[in-house]
Amino acid sequence: MTPGRLGIIYDLHEAAERLHMTPRAVAKVARAAGLCTISGRDFLFTDSDLVEIWNKKRSLSSSSPGPALKTTTSVTRSADKAFSSLLARAIEERQKKSASRRKRAS
């Protein structure tokens, strides 16, 4: 803890102890939300940073929607594509049957 113009400055382990979290969890939340100062390998936090991290953890664990889910393309076919491919397959089978009937007739 270093008192200064910004108030008390905490390092990662002090902040984790104060928030009752692991240092890794504090670093992860702080980095994702931009709530820390990184000096080399050291994470530094002010009192207001710790309050914001605490609020982030509270809102994520309550009824808030949380972070947005990433959307990806679906592997399954759409109903229209499935129907059109089945229709094309049925037409091919009909054409094959009619071609074999023509061969028998001649």
| pLDDT on residue 19 | 92
CA-angle at 30, arms to 48 and 58, nearest 5° = 70
| pLDDT on residue 67 | 63
**Structure tokens belonging to residue 10:** 């905490």
Beta-carbon-side half-sphere exposure of residue 21 (alpha carbons within 13 Å): 17
Is 54 in contact with 89 (CB distance < 8 Å)? no
Segment (H or E) for 84 = helix 79-105
| pLDDT exceeds cutoff 60 at 64 | no
pTM, two decimal places: 0.51
pLDDT, tens digit, 9 for 90 and up, residues 12-60: 999 999 999 999 999 999 999 888 888 888 999 999 999 999 888 876 5
